[in-house]
Amino acid sequence: MRLLVLEDDSELGPWIANGLRAAGHVVDLLTDGREVLVAATMQDYDAIILDRMTPGLDGLSALKAMRAAKVAAPVLFLTAMGEVEDRVEGLEAGGDDYLVKPFAFTELLARIGALGRRPATEARSEPTILEAGDLTLDLLRRKCIRRGEEIDLKATEFRLLEVLLRNQGRVLTRAMLLERVWDMNFDPTTSVVETHVSRLRSKIEKPFGDRLIRTVRGSGYVLDPAG
Amino acid sequence: MSLIQPVDGMRRLWRMAALRQAAISTAVFLGVVALAWAGSFWIVREALIDRVDQALRLEHDTLSRIIGESGPTRALLSSSEERFATFRDEDGRIHGLGDARLFRRQGLATLMAGDEEEEYEDQWRVLIAPMPGGVLAIGTNLDDTSEILEILNGAFLLTWLAAMSATLISGGVLGFHAQRRILRINDALAAIAKGDLSARVAPRRDRDDLDHLALRLDETTARLQTLMQQTRDLSANIAHDLRTPIARLRARLEDAVAARGSGDIDKALESALGQADEVADIFNAIMRIARVDSGESRAAFTPVDLAAVIEQVSETFGPVVEDSGRTLDVDVSGASTVMGDQDLLVQLLANLIQNAIRHTPPGSAITLLGRRHMIGIADDGPGIPPDDRQRVLEPMYRLEKSRQNEGAGLGLALVRAIADLHGAELSLQDNPTASGAGPGLRVEIDLPG
């Protein structure tokens, strides 16, 4: 992916850029919000990563200006401003995701991965049936069917499976699942995600004797019917 | 200097609001009494003269008739210290006291007349009016009227003096009293401004708005003192509680440096990362408590269905509790809607569940509670001794002084902060329905309806 990173910290910036390059991305690292604004309007990026407190123009203002200039690239905020209000502000300004420092690099990679392959236009109609191999999830009739067998899922399990299916092949971290399935922006410290994933597995994998959800050690989960 | 000081003193006195108000109201009151005095004097005087005038007219009529019938006899036209009557006939001859000057004008008038030798003058009311055959002037001494008016004046002066002393004394005393109370408040505020948050006005009773003000001020100062104390404790605790994981982090990194080239380096580094995450987690928890304590999110309160909150929490954490070898039941009846922050209320219950898992033995029963405006949790674990109940709600407090139970002691502090934010009553007590070995713990959060 072609990525644009705004980060003015002289240590974190190169560290992020190098890490992303090592993961196979093409990265432009800038330290000034105004330069980012120019770069984003001149070139097409697959995703843009913005710090919020930067010289010249802060990340939030840069994003607002970009959205006003019809730059549609998905944006991830990577910032030390971690209050709920900051997060809401960032998402309302047109941000697609929000990650607070300090962070694990795997978390950043996973979130960028989830961003990049999002449909470019919102116009595409949302599918009502999600599929992965021989598993079908009917969102309208609230039904989960595998190999012709209907599987009885609880509401939370259904939502968890839906989020995994929508992000097939992409790693979803614990924090991402907490946000997207449970709408929780805090870490409950108990093993909420692990427990529910394990319950889901016992219903959609165990009776069929195979693996759909892969655990990525130290990172999260990925639904991968091929694997 | 000695010349300036009294002026300065007066100015200072004038700047005392209560005394100044007393002085102003006294002056206004005395002014009004003086006006009433002048007004009454004028009204009474007019009324008295009116009566005299009526008497004069009556006498004039009678005397005119008698003189017309029997002529201007000396007996009729006699004069005394009290009255006189003088007649001028058509030929201009004067009968009785006085001379022609008296008849220069006609009608009712008040004249000064007296004995030049004895050097006294009296006020006379005279009526000079024509009658058949001449002009008749009669007069009466206003001595009586003057006397009545003097008595009236005396009475009013007495009243005025009495009122003046009464208002001056009462105004002064009340004003001085109020002023002293204001000065007390002022002194307390001055001490607080200097940084002495233990200063209090401490009014002796709650009788009026000034006492009320003083009490409010004391409450505010007490709250401020608590907050300052908490901030001080919190910073001390942050330092203390972050030092441990930072020390561990450092130790792990040192291990890693020492283990360069050997296989142990992976373990040491992974463990160091874990410690770094714990530092970040503790820091996040502290920031979250601080943010909730600031009360900012109160502006974003929305109606929250308590039953839905409990439903969401039990659905999310039920499997977690079960996997830990305990049971999670829901006991909801008649839970209603309150104004609040749903996310924070969910976190409150999540923290209570987490706390219950951490502090009860496997096999324990945990119950989520929901009543009208109350949410809570009950377990049948070992409970908390009454003496420790208040302190477990403070940041960083852990019942076990040892570090065997991991997890920062911030969970219950956040519960306390969220309850405070909602203006809720938070109570810890033994669980009366506990069936286990211990007394159990029942935590109730009573939200305002």
* Residue in A with minimal Cα distance to B297: A85
Residue B325 has pLDDT above 90, yes or no: yes
From chain B, the residues in CB contact with A154 under 8 A are 315
pLDDT over 90 at B263, yes or no: no
Whether the predicted pLDDT of A137 surpasses 90: yes
Are β-strands A47-50 and A75-79 bridged in parallel, bridged antiparallel, or unpaired?
parallel
Backbone φ/ψ region at B194: left (φ over 0), alpha (ψ -120 to 50), beta: alpha
- pLDDT for res A118: 54
- Provide the pLDDT confidence category of residue B402 given band limits of 50, 70 and 90: very low
- The reply to whether residue B319 touches residue A85, judged by beta carbons under 8 angstroms, is no
Torsion of CA B13, B19, B22, B28, to 10 degrees: 20
- The domain boundary, picked from B258, B273, B292, lies at B292
The reply to whether B441 and B317 lie within a common domain is yes
Total domains, chain B: 3
**Residue A43 C-alpha, separation from nearest chain B C-alpha, in angstroms:** 36
- Distant-in-sequence, close-in-space partners of B352: CB < 8 Å, separation ≥ 6: B376, B377, B415, B443
Q: Which residues of B touch A159 (CB under 8 A)?
A: none
Classify strands B374-379 and A2-6 as parallel, antiparallel or unpaired. Answer: unpaired
Q: Which of A154, A183, A188 sits opposite B350 (nearest CB)?
A: A188
Within this chain, do residues B274 and B227 fall inside the same structural domain, yes or no?
Answer: yes
- Pick the last residue of a domain from B111, B142, B173: B142
In a domain, B63, yes or no: no
Domain-located, residue B153: no
Torsion angle of the four alpha carbons A149, A152, A153, A155, in this order, in degrees rounded to the nearest 10: 130
Same domain as B371, residue B242? no
pLDDT digits (tens, 9 = 90+) for A198-224: 999 999 999 998 889 999 987 899 998
Inside any domain, residue B372? yes
Residues of A in contact with B345 (CB under 8 A): none
The token duo for A147 is 């190999």
B424: domain CATH number is: 3.30.565.10
Subunit contact B343:A183, Cβ cutoff 8 A:
yes
Tell me: do B303 and B389 sit in the same domain. Answer: yes
pLDDT above 60 (res B2): no
Which of A83, A156, A189 is the closest to B316 by Cβ?
Answer: A156
By three-state DSSP, how is residue B141 classified? strand
| pLDDT for res B332 | 94
Does the pLDDT value for residue B406 go beyond 50? no
pLDDT of residue B118 exceeding 60: no
Return the residue of A nearest to B296 by Cα.
A85
Furthest CA-CA distance within chain B: 159
Chain A residue with Cα closest to B273: A104
- Which of B249, B297, B320 to probe the A interface (max A CBs under 10 A)? B320
Same domain, B250 and B363: no
Rounded mean pLDDT, B108-129: 76
Asked whether residue B255 falls in the same domain as residue B303, the answer is no
Domain boundary among B235, B263, B292: B292
pLDDT of residue B13: 72
Q: Pick A190's closest partner by Cβ from B291, B346, B357.
A: B357
- Range among A203-217, B18-32, B139-153 with highest mean pLDDT value: A203-217
For residue B233, what is the domain's CATH number?
Answer: 1.10.287.130
A131, A98 contact by CB (below 8 A): no
Which chain A residues are within 8 Å of B350, Cβ to Cβ?
A: 186, 188, 190
Q: A188: distance to nearest CA of chain B, Å? A: 7
Residue B5: pLDDT over 60: no
Domain that holds residue B94: 72-142
Q: Residue B409's pLDDT band (boundaries 50, 70, 90)? A: low
Average pLDDT over every residue of B17-41: 85
Check pLDDT > 70 for residue B395. no
Q: Which residue of B has its CA nearest to A188?
A: B350
Helices (H), chain A: 12-22, 33-42, 59-68, 84-92, 105-116, 155-166, 174-181, 192-204
Q: Cα separations (Å) of A158 from A141, B140, B243?
A: 12, 118, 43
**Does position A227 have pLDDT exceeding 60, yes or no?**
no
Q: What is the pLDDT of residue A117?
A: 57
Residue A208 in contact with partner chain B when CB distance is under 8 A: no
**Whole-number mean pLDDT of chain A?**
90
pLDDT tens, residue by residue, B351-366:
999 989 988 999 999 9
Determine contact: A68 vs chain B, CB below 8 A: no
| Host H or E run for residue B378 | strand B374-379
Q: Does A24 touch chain B (CB under 8 A)?
A: no
> Do B327 and B371 reside in the same domain of the chain?
yes
Indicate whether B150 belongs to any domain: no
SS3 B218: helix
For residue B420, is pLDDT > 80?
yes
Kindly state whether residues B325 and B386 are assigned to the same domain: yes
Is-above-0.90 flag for pTM? no
Nearest residue of chain A to residue B300 (CA atoms): A85
Check pLDDT > 90 for residue B26: no
Domain architecture of chain A: domains with CATH: 2-116 (3.40.50.2300), 129-223 (1.10.10.10)
Cα–Cα distance for residue pair B252/B275, rounded to 1 Å: 8
Contact A102 B357 (CB under 8 A): no
The reported pLDDT for the residue numbered A139 is 93
Give, rounded to a whole angstrom, the gap between the first and last alpha carbons of chain A.
23
pLDDT for B14: 73
Is residue B345 in a domain? yes
Residues ≥6 apart with Cβ < 8 Å to A117: A170
Q: How far apart are CA B100 and CA B93, in angstroms?
A: 9
Residue B210: CA atoms inside 13 Å, Cβ hemisphere, count? 15
B320 vs A192: CB contact, 8 Å cut-off?
Answer: yes
Q: What ipTM does the predicted assembly reach?
A: 0.84
Residues B252 and B330 in one domain: no
Q: For the stretch B180-216, what's the b/e string if a residue is b when 16 or more beta carbons lie within 10 angstroms of its beta carbon?
A: ebbebbeebeeebeeeebebbbebeeeeeebeeebbe
Coil, strand or helix: which one is B319? Answer: helix
Quick check: B171 pLDDT over 90? no
Q: What's the pLDDT tens digit per position in A57-67?
A: 999 999 999 99
pLDDT of residue B172: 82
**Mutation test of the interface with chain B: which of A79, A81, A84, choosing the one with the most B Cβ atoms within 10 A?**
A84
My answer on whether B312 and B441 are in the same domain is yes
* Residue B223 sits in the same domain as residue B344: no
Give B360 to chain A, closest Cα distance, Å. Answer: 15
Q: Is the CB of A219 inside 8 Å of chain B's CB atoms?
A: no
Same domain membership, residue B364 and residue B302: yes
The answer to whether position B160 is within a domain reads no
Of A83, A189, A196, the CB nearest to B319: A196
Of B319, B347, B407, which has the smallest distance from its Cβ to A195's Cβ?
A: B319
B124 assigned to some structural domain: yes
Determine contact: A92 vs chain B, CB below 8 A.
no
Residue B315 contacts residue B275 (beta carbons within 8 Å):
no
- Residue B151 belongs to some domain of the structure: no
